[in-house]
A and B are shown apart, each in its own frame.
Chain A
Amino acid sequence: MIDVEDLTFSYTRETSPILKNFSLKLVEDKSVSIMGANGSGKTTLSRCLNGLLLPESGTVRVDGLDTRQKDENLKIRALVGMVFQNPDNQIVSTTVEREVAFGLENLEVPYEEMHRRVEAILRQFGLEKYRHKSPHYLSGGEKQLLALASIFVMSPKYIILDEPTSLLDPASREKILDAVFELREKSGIIPILITQFPEETLRTDRLILLHKGKIVFDEKPADVFEHEKELREIGIGVPLYFSLKPQLEKLHLWGVV
């Protein structure tokens, strides 16, 4: 469980806090998505969850480990994998293959096993043809795939996906999400999906909606999207089918098409 208690965070003393007295519990048996307008605090929250940012006051505990405890840092990072919005922020190696192996090398995984895991991931993400190439020569979308692959390979317990698919074509986007939710089935990984695509949240059990650093909805995604009017006021769209629900219902087509 990730337990956020009374968290307050601001980037500088002069500006008002992005998150103020914020509490949230993320439990093992529920996948989560987080939505909110640009600037609502999504990315800040996600960086507090793995200790990249530390609370000004309040606590964040990952499976009981306090993120402010310096010596727990490595353990927390291994538990909570994170894929960033902009892949250039996380790619460090000179070839695609090395990039995928980088995290495993740091964890001192034995060579044979590392080799096997890197191979499997390269194949799963369709990156094997680029293995010896420099990540610089990949397109924006392919870099996003690589960034995901290099986190996936470490098999974290929680995985934070911060708009990981914004530059991908729709089929690759589905492929990524399929991979995430397949892993959920197989190994129980807990996805925390930050997204601007309302359709994508329908795959998760729980949708948390942020507005100005506060939780305004925390329910099953389909239940949240019943509130189209309120959502629009805070700059959130609903999946297309939900916008047409009144008309489709009256025509007795809701659930049919």
Chain B
Amino acid sequence: MTIRLENVSFRYTQGIEGFFGQEQILQNISFRIDSGEFVGIVGPSGSGKTTLIQHFNGLLKPVSGRVLIDHKDITGQKKIPGNIRKKIGIVFQFPELQFFENTVYDEVSYGPRNLKIPGNEIEKRVREAFDLLELDFEDFRDRAPFHLSEGQKRRVAIASILVMKPEVLIFDEPTAGMDFRGVLRLKSFIRSLKNSGRTVILVSHDMAFIAETVDRILCLKNGQLIFDGTKIDFFSDVPILQKANLREPEIVRLARALRQENIPVPFSITDLRGMKRFLEARLKSENSFKIR
């Protein structure tokens, strides 16, 4: 499934302009995301990231420009075809805002029930989603979504999107408020989604998380796209990082400091595991040098 934006501009409707000023939330944005890509969307708070992703499945419509899903223009359509919402799932920042059912089972199965999928098929999908997210089915099915911990809520919200079997999954700040173990679990879960051939899009300020996951980065500032390229190029572009209120991930900063000490760390190293392996190898070669 490809998502293509052509010169998309957006502001909240004319009627409330008086309240919100004249500024555009998105200005003239164009790019294309192909099937199976792993993309990070970054930028300062208020730069338009959440507004942008709501264009991908027609939740918001551009004031000018076009949005094409699989080469079909959805911009002018009064009613967004149901399969687009089904195939492009968004997990929002505050999961409790999307809950309304009394039990976790009803919450997660709400989407498929609405599509009139048979009950046994629904249960199968719910179980699969629970398994993937390490939620125990018997333990959680009858619990109240609002009484779960923040991390559990987040997982239930993800499950309720997964049961729709989307081809594209978009996560808005998925690590916010999540503890270390939760982030590790999420990281491996998101990688497994990516390996199953789905398109994954992450909106995040967590640069360490971005550095260890995506391949490509789109960076927004004041509603404009100021960078579209590989993760490695992005993290070595200090002026762009500064412009976007971002910091190099710690690991990139460390790599740069090491290079200044004449230790040639490759630019491709952006995660802890890679750095550890590199330093270990370096230690080994230094030791063998001493023995000689």
Residues of A that sit less than 8 Å from B by CB? 36-39, 85-86, 88, 132-134, 137-142, 144-145, 163, 166-174, 196, 199, 232, 235-237, 239-241, 243-244, 247-248, 250-251, 253, 256-257
Besides the known contacts A38-B182, A247-B280, 17 further A-B residue pairs in the complex with CB atoms under 8 A apart: A38-B149, A38-B151, A38-B178, A86-B94, A137-B19, A139-B45, A163-B177, A167-B173, A169-B43, A170-B207, A170-B247, A171-B247, A235-B179, A239-B250, A240-B251, A247-B279, A251-B283
CA distance A172 to B50 in the complex (A): 18
CA distance A132 to B45 in the complex (A): 19
Given the known interface contacts A133-B21, A247-B276, the answer about A37 and B179 at a Cβ–Cβ threshold of 8 Å is: yes
Contact with A along B38-72 (1 / 0, CB 8 A): 00000111100010000000000000000000000
Q: Flag whether B226 is at the interface (Cβ < 8 A).
A: no
Looking at B46, B151, B244, which has the most chain A CB atoms within 10 Å of its CB? Answer: B46
Contact B45 A145 (CB under 8 A): yes
Given the known interface contacts A171-B247, A257-B258, the answer about A138 and B46 at a Cβ–Cβ threshold of 8 Å is: yes
Contact B250 A199 (CB under 8 A): yes
Q: Flag whether B272 is at the interface (Cβ < 8 A).
A: yes
Shortest CB-to-CB span from A162 to chain B, Å, is 10
- In the bound complex, residues from chain B placing their C-beta under 8 Å from that of A171 are 44, 245-247
CA distance A253 to B254 in the complex (A): 11
Which residue of chain B has its CB nearest to the CB of A140?
A: B93
Shortest CB-to-CB span from A142 to chain B, Å, is 5
CB contact between B246 and one of A38, A142, A169, A253 (< 8 Å): that residue: A169
Given the known interface contacts A169-B45, A244-B276, A251-B286, the answer about A133 and B177 at a Cβ–Cβ threshold of 8 Å is: no
- In the bound complex, residues from chain A placing their C-beta under 8 Å from that of B283 are 247, 250-251
Given the known interface contacts A38-B179, A139-B50, A240-B251, the answer about A167 and B279 at a Cβ–Cβ threshold of 8 Å is: no
- In the bound complex, residues from chain B placing their C-beta under 8 Å from that of A173 are 205
CA distance A247 to B94 in the complex (A): 39
Shortest CB-to-CB span from B180 to chain A, Å, is 4
CA distance A39 to B181 in the complex (A): 12
Given the known interface contacts A140-B93, A169-B205, A257-B261, the answer about A196 and B43 at a Cβ–Cβ threshold of 8 Å is: no
CA distance A236 to B178 in the complex (A): 11
Contact B177 A140 (CB under 8 A): no
Q: Which 7 A-B pairs have the closest CB atoms?
A: A141-B45, A171-B245, A257-B257, A237-B180, A235-B181, A247-B279, A166-B176
Q: Flag whether B275 is at the interface (Cβ < 8 A).
A: yes
Q: Flag whether B282 is at the interface (Cβ < 8 A).
A: yes
Contact A243 B272 (CB under 8 A): yes
CA distance A171 to B150 in the complex (A): 25
Interface contacts (Cβ under 8 Å), in number, total: 123
CA distance A39 to B263 in the complex (A): 42
Given the known interface contacts A38-B149, A170-B207, A236-B180, the answer about A141 and B254 at a Cβ–Cβ threshold of 8 Å is: no
Q: Flag whether B12 is at the interface (Cβ < 8 A).
A: yes
Shortest CB-to-CB span from A229 to chain B, Å, is 14
Q: Flag whether B33 is at the interface (Cβ < 8 A).
A: no
Shortest CB-to-CB span from B130 to chain A, Å, is 18
Contact A133 B19 (CB under 8 A): yes
CA distance A36 to B257 in the complex (A): 31
Q: Flag whether B20 is at the interface (Cβ < 8 A).
A: yes
Shortest CB-to-CB span from A170 to chain B, Å, is 4
Looking at A39, A166, A232, A236, which has the most chain B CB atoms within 10 Å of its CB? Answer: A166
Contact A142 B45 (CB under 8 A): yes
Shortest CB-to-CB span from A254 to chain B, Å, is 12
Contact B180 A168 (CB under 8 A): no
Contact A38 B272 (CB under 8 A): no
Q: Flag whether B208 is at the interface (Cβ < 8 A).
A: yes
- In the bound complex, residues from chain A placing their C-beta under 8 Å from that of B179 are 36-38, 196, 235-236
- In the bound complex, residues from chain A placing their C-beta under 8 Å from that of B183 are 237
CA distance A46 to B263 in the complex (A): 45
CA distance A236 to B179 in the complex (A): 7
Shortest CB-to-CB span from A249 to chain B, Å, is 10
- In the bound complex, residues from chain B placing their C-beta under 8 Å from that of A241 are 250, 254
CA distance A182 to B37 in the complex (A): 43
- In the bound complex, residues from chain A placing their C-beta under 8 Å from that of B263 are 251, 253
Shortest CB-to-CB span from A68 to chain B, Å, is 26
Shortest CB-to-CB span from A12 to chain B, Å, is 10
Which residue of chain A has its CB nearest to the CB of B207?
A: A170
A-B contact pairs, 17 of them (CB 8 A): A38-B151, A137-B19, A140-B94, A141-B205, A166-B173, A167-B176, A169-B45, A170-B245, A171-B247, A173-B205, A236-B179, A241-B254, A243-B276, A244-B279, A247-B283, A253-B261, A253-B263
